[in-house]
Amino acid sequence: MHYVYLLQCADGTLYCGWTTDLQKRVKAHNGENGAKYTHSRRPVTLVYSEEYTDKQKALSREWHLKRLSRQEKLRLIEEYKANEK
């Protein structure tokens, strides 16, 4: 499986990424093997994810998510949290 995700950093910023192992990647972001951006903004919390069977679709969705405004991302996260319950 392929995952697109949003993390909320300790400073309140959002980070978007792609991975094949979501839990391992979140641990990496909170450890020494995360992205340069998240390294100085730890701890990070997973706030949104989508699952894809196709890598290209996941990468395309990541590209689109990165182009959303902060407000659009926050709305997406709120909808995601509401649907989790």
The full set of domains in the chain, from first to last, is 2-80 (3.40.1440.10)
pLDDT tens digits for range 11-65: 999 999 999 999 999 999 999 888 999 999 999 999 999 999 999 999 999 999 9
* pLDDT number for residue 37: 95
Rounded to an integer, what distance in angstroms lies between the CA atom of residue 18 and that of residue 82?
23
* pLDDT number for residue 74: 98
* pLDDT number for residue 84: 84
Rounded to an integer, what distance in angstroms lies between the CA atom of residue 85 and that of residue 82?
6
* pLDDT number for residue 31: 94
